[in-house]
């Protein structure tokens, strides 16, 4: 599916890739285009080092969805990197003994090793999961957007939380087992020690709820009629291998990808200096390789975007950028 068709029909589009390649510029430009084609659009930056406001040329208070002045149907949001995930708090330091009066009495027992292992476990991707779930909750409960565009952080880890449900299942199983073991121990100990009032430990419920939300998010993110990931890259050798790795990772998680944007291409103009001619040659070589690898190999549409004379920021320039991005 072309990016144009996607912008007109999908509910979510994510832009990702290496640092500085033009993800935010592509996301902003695409969001303006979609909004002006009648879709009620939300653009969200999930990168803690935000630059979405700078790209659009507006002030975006952290965590506040803000209508973009001068563009009908467009709202922008930079998620607050210091957001409060208190509903999930305690999860990253889970301890099945919490609330009981036993830990000191049981030091040195073999069971303690299991418990200590779990207490220090923090599964990879849990922060990304919290952040994304917050966003999805926001989209679902408060608003009625046709399209949500994600400007993601320049790491390959944006989506690693998608494998969390399996990790969490492992945790839940372990936790249950420990509860059983502890249950019988507790009974034994109770006759020997007086216990204080036990706090309610709801870590199991929290884990189950988190798992369910991620499974649901995963259903949406892997559905090609709802979501697509657009990979942005530049025509350089290093970017080719990194893009290959990103595509493999997305494939592993079943995230649909049909478009790869090759940004910053030197144009064939008359006034190129020696330096630019040399860069253009290098880019041309790499573009051929990109087409071979990603167009023929991975069967992706390649979108070629030229290097502009100036920085691509704010409405007019982003619109012009869109003429190349969305064809």
Ligand X SMILES: Nc1ncnc2c1ncn2[C@@H]1O[C@H](COP(=O)(O)OP(=O)(O)OP(=O)(O)O)[C@@H](O)[C@H]1O
Residue 24 in contact with Mg ion, rule: CB under 5 A = yes
Say which residues have a Cβ less than 8 Å from residue 180's Cβ, sequence separation at least 6: none
The window from 48-56, 155-163, 244-252, 294-302 that contacts Mg ion (CB under 5 A) reads: 48-56
**Alpha carbons 286 and 239: distance in angstroms, whole number:** 10
Question: In the complex, what is the shortest distance from the CB of residue 27 to ligand X, in angstroms, rounded to a whole number?
Answer: 8
The window from 15-23, 70-78, 197-205, 215-223 that contacts Mg ion (CB under 5 A) reads: 15-23
Residues contributing to the site for ligand X (CB under 6 A): 19-25, 47, 51, 154, 263-264, 305, 307-308, 311-313
The window from 49-57, 80-88, 278-286, 289-297 that contacts Mg ion (CB under 5 A) reads: 49-57
Work out the angle at residue 153's Cα, subtended by the Cα atoms of residues 151 and 157, and round it to the nearest 5 degrees.
Answer: 125
Q: Residue 51 or residue 167: which is nearer to ligand X going by CB? A: 51
170 binds, among ligand X, Mg ion, none (CB under 5 to 8 A by kind): none
SS3 128: helix
Q: Residue 16 or residue 96: which is nearer to Mg ion going by CB? A: 16
Q: b/e string for 61-78 if b means 16 or more Cβ within 10 A?
A: eeeebbebeebebbbbbb
**Alpha carbons 42 and 12: distance in angstroms, whole number:** 10
Say which residues have a Cβ less than 8 Å from residue 191's Cβ, sequence separation at least 6: none
Residue 158 in contact with Mg ion, rule: CB under 5 A = no
Q: Which of residues 51-110 bind Mg ion (CB under 5 A)?
A: 51
Contact positions vs Mg ion (CB under 5 A): 23-24, 51
């Amino acid at each position: 599916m072309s990016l144009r068709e996607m912008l007109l029909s999908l509910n979510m589009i994510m832009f990702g890739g290496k640092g500085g390649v033009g993800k935010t510029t592509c996301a902003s430009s695409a969001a303006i285009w979609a909004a002006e084609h009648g879709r009620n659009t939300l653009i969200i930056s999930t990168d803690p080092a935000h630059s979405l406001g700078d790209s659009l040329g507006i002030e975006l208070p952290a965590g506040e969805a803000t209508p973009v002045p001068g563009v009908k149907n467009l709202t922008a949001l930079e998620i607050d990197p210091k957001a409060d995930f208190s509903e999930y708090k305690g999860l990253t330091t889970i301890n099945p003994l919490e609330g009981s009066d036993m830990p000191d009495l049981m030091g040195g027992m073999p069971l303690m090793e299991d418990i200590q292992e779990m207490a220090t476990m923090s599964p990879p991707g849990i922060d990304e999961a919290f952040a994304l779930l917050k966003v999805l909750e926001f989209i679902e409960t408060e608003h009625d957007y046709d399209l949500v565009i994600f400007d993601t952080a320049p790491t390959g880890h944006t989506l690693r939380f998608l494998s969390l449900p399996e990790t969490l299942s492992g945790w839940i199983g372990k936790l249950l087992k420990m509860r059983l073991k502890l249950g019988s121990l507790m009974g034994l100990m109770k006759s020997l020690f007086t216990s204080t009032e036990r706090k309610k430990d709801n870590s199991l419920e929290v884990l189950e709820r988190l798992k369910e939300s991620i499974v649901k998010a995963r259903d949406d993110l892997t559905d090609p009629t709802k979501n697509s990931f657009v990979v942005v890259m530049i025509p350089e050798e290093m970017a080719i291998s990194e893009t290959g790795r990103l595509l493999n990772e997305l494939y592993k998680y079943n995230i649909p990808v049909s478009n790869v944007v090759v940004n910053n291409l030197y144009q064939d103009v008359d006034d190129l200096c020696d330096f630019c001619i040399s860069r253009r040659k290098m880019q041309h070589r790499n573009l051929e390789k990109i087409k071979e690898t990603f167009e023929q190999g991975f069967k992706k549409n390649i979108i070629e975007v030229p290097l502009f004379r100036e920085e691509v920021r704010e409405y007019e320039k982003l619109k012009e950028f869109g003429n190349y991005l969305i064809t």
